[in-house]
């Protein structure tokens, strides 16, 4: 079931979640401008390619999903729910709103 969480909840939950996977659904160009460390990048704009890559993931893990503003990641969470993922978290406000650690 997808859940929208704030950046504060996101940071706190990931710090305490040994089953967490951070999923960045932005484009390669967007990722080059910076990203949340230790993420997995699968571009939702790839359409079927995105679904194919998502299908390879472990559905029992907890996925923390983000994009630039929170719209594409919400869409990704919905798709992942439909594909049988048990826990997906959407970062409210996306990367634009993120003030935590960043890698470049």
Which residues belong to the active site? Answer: 67
Q: How far apart are CA 89 and CA 3, in angstroms?
A: 5
Residue with structure tokens 């978290």?
89
User: What's the Cα-to-Cα distance from 98 to each of 7, 51, 52, 83, 87, rounded to whole Å?
Assistant: 7, 26, 28, 28, 21
């Amino acid at each position: 079931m997808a859940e929208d969480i704030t950046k504060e909840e996101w940071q706190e939950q990931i710090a305490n979640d040994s089953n967490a996977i951070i999923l960045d659904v932005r484009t390669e160009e967007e990722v080059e401008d910076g990203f949340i460390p230790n993420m997995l990048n699968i571009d939702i704009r790839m359409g079927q390619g995105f679904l194919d890559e998502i299908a390879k993931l472990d559905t029992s893990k907890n996925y923390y999903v983000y994009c630039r503003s929170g719209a594409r990641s919400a869409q990704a969470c919905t798709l992942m729910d439909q594909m049988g993922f048990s826990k997906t978290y959407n970062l409210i406000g996306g990367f634009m709103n993120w003030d935590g650690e960043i890698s470049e």
